[in-house]
A and B are shown apart, each in its own frame.
Chain A
Amino acid sequence: MANMSIFDISGRAMAAQLVRLNTTASNLANANSVSTTKEGAFRALKPVFKTVSGGEGVATVQVSQVVSSNTDPTKRHDPGNPLADQNGDVWDAGVDQAGELVEMMETARQYQNNVQVLQTAKSLTLDTLRLEK
């Protein structure tokens, strides 16, 4: 059938979920960074998942690109900040922290699902190999 085994399918899905976890970590790390200008402020990074077909019926997933989200940075009045502009304003990073935490949990769950699939496939393959015993 297809030129893609369950190990390819789940392995690549795990890699994609790991990229997603990395972007979440970057977003949370930069959640409290500030900038002088709106354009310079950090915006959350989001991976774009894309299906990779492996022939008849089977498919895995890959991250086709990582884009900056359109969450707008927020202006905050903080004249004491060395990065403040002439009005005394700074721009906070455009990161939805609660949303990122939810994303992190979802990523972990889906990663675990793929690990479980891999374990099941492995033990069934080994059972098949030991068939005559």
Chain B
Amino acid sequence: MANNDPLFGLSGDALKLRSQRMALLASNIANAATPNYKARDFDFQKALAAAQSGTSADQAASQTAGYRVPLEASLDGNTVELSTEQTLFAENAVQYKTTLAFLQGRISTVMTALKGE
């Protein structure tokens, strides 16, 4: 991973991490009924900082990953709380779209510069 991507800045790393976080939250939602499943998540801000300092996006995500502390413990040992996971999933999807919009803006700027019209 380039330290400072001259073309896309941090948006490239951010998009990768958003996609990884989406898979992680999807895993939590998929295991909403599995006994003893422990919900996981990672700290996006820390992961992005790690990715910016040269760590690969995969590693950055796994370094900053942790288990979620449930608001209300359940009897079967499952720590997935659907309301929490759904909210975070929706939030992450919106942020993914935002990152896409930043990338789109960057691409159209560069295209304008290239075409010189």
Interface residues of A (CB under 8 A from B): 1-2, 4-6, 9-10, 12-13, 17, 20, 49-51, 54, 56-61, 106, 109-110, 113-114, 116-117, 120-121, 124, 127-128, 131-132
Contact = CB atoms under 8 A, between A and B. Distances in A.
B27 A59 contact: yes
B34 A50 contact: yes
Given A20-B33, A51-B31, A57 B26 contact: no
Contacts of A110: 32-33, 82
A124 B23 contact: no
Contact of A131 (B23, B40, B89, B104): B104
Contact of B37 (A1, A17, A51, A114): A51
B30 interface: yes
6 contacts: A1-B20, A2-B23, A4-B23, A13-B30, A49-B33, A117-B29
Interface size class of B (residues with CB under 8 A): 20 to 34
Interface of B: 15, 20, 22-24, 26-27, 29-35, 37, 40, 42, 57-58, 61-62, 65, 82, 86, 89-90, 93, 96-97, 100, 103-104, 107
A117 B34 contact: no
Contact of A57 (B29, B62, B97): B62
Contacts, number: 97
Instruction: Name the prevailing secondary structure of the B interface residues.
Output: helix
A9 B34 contact: no
Contacts of B65: 57
